[in-house]
Structure 1
């Protein structure tokens, strides 16, 4: 085999050549070719503004719930126990004033027969400490 020497053989030139001063002006030419448009900026305050608006909306809704929902505690009907307690303890009416106001139909409704067993009556009398008051009435 023949000895191969790189320095003595004719060299083949490549088909590519760089223009004169190509690398010196490369960065300025590249910057000229880039688009000038600026990147989109997202503000932090915009997200905070929507968060504040959502919190305010929830707060308004929470404050409107008691106003919009009908309340069952505001009924104007009185139960009989409350009325009896008021008449007995808070007013100056006695039993004779009540009887004078009643109509005959109301008196007939009151006169219904109540069947009491002896044991129930005995239990009531033994447990009630206010027997003298009941006897006097």
Structure 2
């Protein structure tokens, strides 16, 4: 391979050329353009009553929307107990053994914790119920 020397190769021109004497008075032109520009009048926000009233209205609207958005996002998709109980009571092909079969130990522990009958209440139920034998057998 032959040696490559950058200085010896023909140079390619870029095609861009600046006009003659363009940079001689360039800084003077820029300074003149800066002097000719008018200053922009700045109006502070605290002096504008309309802007403040709109800002206050926006804050009030946002404050009123927070409970609505919070309630919308927190709506539960879970079934409540009454709906579930109604559904299960109308299922004719479902019996107590099917329900017991689906329970695991966690569910049984939860049921035991939730059921808190006093001795007197239990005696009243057993004394007034004519189907005592049916309850005992279940």
TM-score normalised by the chain length of structure 1: 0.33
Which of the two has greater helix per residue?
2
- Pair member with larger Rg: 1
TM-score normalised by the chain length of structure 2: 0.33
